[in-house]
Amino acid sequence: MEQVNINTEYITLGQLLKITDIISSGGMAKWFLSEHEIMVNGEADNRRGRKLYPNDKIAVIGFGEYQIAQAD
């Protein structure tokens, strides 16, 4: 599981996809989420605006697993 460090209270699911280089631009998020399965803390979710907080676990099926962490 790859750790994604953030400096803010939360990031959105769309931002996570861009930070991890799964998509190349924010505009691709809506399309990507409609075509691929995403699990947030074990539940399916496809909202690009879904807020992700430290300790949340995200599985992008076929691409990898990520955990949000607060940067020091």
Q: What is the pTM of this model?
A: 0.90
Which pLDDT band holds residue 21 (cuts at 50, 70, 90)? very high
What pLDDT does residue 27 have? 87
Backbone angles phi, psi at 4, to 5 degrees: -115, 115
Domains of the chain by start residue, with CATH: 2-70 (3.10.290.10)
**Arithmetic mean of pLDDT over the chain:** 94
Q: Where are the alpha helices (DSSP H) in 12-51?
A: 13-19, 29-35
Better pLDDT: 3 or 27 = 3
pLDDT digits (tens, 9 = 90+) for 30-64: 999 999 999 999 999 999 999 999 999 999 999 99
Span 15-26, mean pLDDT? Answer: 93
